[in-house]
Amino acid sequence: MAEPEFDPRWRPTADLAHELAGQFGTPLYVIDENHFRNRIRDYISAARQADPNSEITFASKANSVLAVLKIAHSEGCLIDVASEGELRAALAVGVPASACHMHGNNKSREEIEFALSVGINQIVVDNFEEIKTLAELKATTPLVLRLAPGVLPITNEKISTGQQDTKFGFSIHDGSAEKALLQSLNSGLQVEGFHCHVGSQLLDPEAQISAGQRLAQFAAEMKSTHGFITKVINAGGGRAVRYTNESPIALSNYCQQLAQGVRRALEGTGLNPKLVQEPGRSLIAESGVTIYTIGSIKFVESPSGGTKRHVIVNGGLADNPRPAMYDAKYAVETVAGDARELGESSSATVSGRHCESDLLFDQVMLPNDLQPGDLLIVLTTGAYSSSMASNYNRYPRPATVLVRDSGPVIVQRAESYDEMLAREVLPEGI
């Protein structure tokens, strides 16, 4: 069953959009605090109603702005980090390492040593080299083995990670998963269970449910064959959000189906592991928008006949690479830069300012009377915009503003040109 027929995405009112653009400039990432907190509360409630022995971990790769991490932890999430940098970000806002899980498919020895030194709660082991390193370091930290369950989800192939030939984890199919478990146990490491993540933006939950079941079946096999008691099954994240007109399955149904699938596979085994989920996008994406200012508007002849309208904004590939990487679609709205009312709409192409085609959104309906200086608001950009931003064409990265009951506040300053150039070293004699 899909979510109810209403749009739960957050967007600013016209007055607030004007205020934010005027006070902080554009392009601008904006996150609504109450919306984000409510999404977390809803998810935790749904997970625990489906299975009281549930845990929610926020996938910080979706958005690792410090204020976002602080809010997620304050609402009861553990923090999933995929690098030393993401771990340091969590530590910087007072999230204890004991509330963090460390991922990564190519962790360096230095990253592992740092995580162990600060008391990481759990390391998700991805490969045999990591097992060797952890054994050499005599690690006593709880470990979870990342497994490839051989499930191919319905999503963009670039964000599909659970198939048999994925670069992530140990394959169940070819025996690597069992070998990894035995090698870890024989090395004296503290394995607690198993993890998988099959992909992102999953409208159909069947792949994640199937993957959770496969982990549970593997856990049952490892108990039967080797006497291993699984304490943790982590089914990852991936539930879809609304970018345009998608209809994700209702959160309560999603959690119920996942929990029931895992528990059915464990029936009769005596195993009662903690069921962990790792949502990132589905917690933060719909709580955020990006505000751009429209610059030039061009009308050009199309080779197929007719005229194409290019609406060009003061951002693009560097602050949101997902359209270029995944052909990602977004809903866009407009606000006049003055008090005038905008009229009827027709098809337009929204392009960015970078030295590529930098096509952001093609064939979207925009008012015919848009003018330079009007605002374009892109919905559902709370995830994978700020965290994937770059300095392409030497554009500084945008600010992030948090909308609070007391008013909007900066939580990540816009990058200055001096900050952008501070890493450069010019040798003498050039």
Instruction: Convert the pLDDT of each residue in 227-250 to its tens digit.
Output: 999 999 999 998 899 999 888 889
Please give the angle made by the CA atoms of 124, 126 and 128, to the nearest 5 degrees.
125
User: Other CB atoms closer than 10 Å to residue 41's CB: what's the count?
Assistant: 12
pTM to 2 decimals? 0.93
371 Cβ neighbours under 8 A, 6+ residues apart: 294, 297, 336, 337
Q: For residue 62, give Cα distances in angstroms to 14, 164, 294.
A: 27, 25, 27
| Residue found under tokens 């080299």 | 129
The first and second tokens of residue 423, run together, are: 């890493």
Tens digits of residue pLDDT in 289-331? 999 999 999 999 878 778 999 999 999 999 999 999 989 999 9
Residue with token string 């010019």: 426
Count CA atoms within 13 Å of residue 141 on its CB side.
Answer: 29
Query: Top-level CATH class of 51-279?
Result: alpha beta
How high is the pLDDT of residue 166?
A: 63
> Which of 151, 84, 90, 78 lies closest to 113, judged by CA?
84
Q: Please name every residue paired with 147 in a beta bridge, in sequence order, or none if there are none.
A: 170
The pLDDT of 74-91, averaged and rounded, is 98
Domain residue spans of the chain: 51-279, 286-421
Q: Of the ranges 18-22, 122-126, 165-169, 229-233, which one carries the lowest mean pLDDT score? A: 165-169
Tell me what the mean pLDDT of segment 40-60 comes to: 97
Structure-token pair, residue 23: 């006070």
Catalytic annotation, residues: 355
Whether the CB-CB separation of 348 and 361 falls below 8 Å is answered with no
Architecture of the domain spanning 286-421: Beta Barrel (2.40)
Alpha-carbon distance of 135 to 137, in angstroms, equals: 5
Can you tell me the distance from the alpha carbon of 286 to that of 253, in angstroms, rounded to the nearest whole number? 19
- Six-digit token pair at 361? 């959104």
Strands 359-367 and 170-171: unpaired
Is cis: bond before 27, omega within 30 of 0? yes
Please, are residues 403 and 49 in contact by the beta-carbon 8 Å criterion? no
Count the Cβ atoms, other than its own, within 10 Å of residue 271.
20
What is the band of 357 on the pLDDT scale with cuts at 50, 70, 90? Answer: confident
Rounded to whole angstroms, the Cα distance separating 212 from 240 reads 17
Region of residue 125 (phi > 0: left; psi between -120 and 50: alpha; otherwise: beta): beta
Task: Report in angstroms the alpha-carbon separations of 59 from 76, 102, 278.
Answer: 13, 10, 6
Backbone angles phi, psi at 96, to 5 degrees: -70, 150
Average pLDDT of the segment spanning 130-154:
88
What per-residue confidence (pLDDT) applies to 208? 82
pLDDT of residue 200: 75
Q: How many CB atoms lie within 10 A of CB 230?
A: 24
3-state SS assignment for residue 133: helix
The token pair that represents 392 in the structure block: 């392409």
pLDDT-derived band at 261, boundaries 50, 70, 90: very high
Tell me which H or E stretch contains 109.
Answer: helix 109-118
b vs e for 20-31, b when ≥16 Cβ sit within 10 Å of the residue's Cβ?
bbeebebbbbbb
Cβ neighbours of residue 197 closer than 8 Å, sequence gap 6 or more: 146, 161, 162, 168, 236, 237, 238, 278
Look at 86-100, 164-178, 179-193, 282-296 and tell me which has the smallest mean pLDDT.
164-178
